[in-house]
Amino acid sequence: MREKLIEAAVKAKEKAYAPYSNFRVGAALLSDGKIYSGFNIENASYSLTVCAERVAAINAIVDGSKGFEKIAIASDGADFITPCGACLQFLAEFSKDMEVILVNGKGDSEITTLKKLLPSPFSL
Sign of the Cα torsion 25, 56, 86, 88 reads negative
Please select the residue that binds ligand THU; options are 53, 60, 91, 109, rule is CB under 6 A. 53
The SS3 assignment for 57 reads helix
User: Is residue 37 part of the contact set for ligand THU (CB under 6 A)?
Assistant: no
Nearer to ligand THU, 61 or 81 (CB): 81
Query: For the purposes of burial, counting CB atoms within 10 Å of the CB of 62, is it exposed (0-12), middle (13-18) or buried (19 or more)?
Result: exposed
Element (H, E) at 68: strand 68-75
Q: Give yes or no: 14 in active site.
A: no
Nearer to ligand THU, 31 or 83 (CB): 83
Positions marked catalytic = 53
Q: Which residues sit at the interface with ligand THU, rule CB under 6 A?
A: 18, 21, 23, 25, 40, 42, 49, 51-53, 81, 83-84, 87
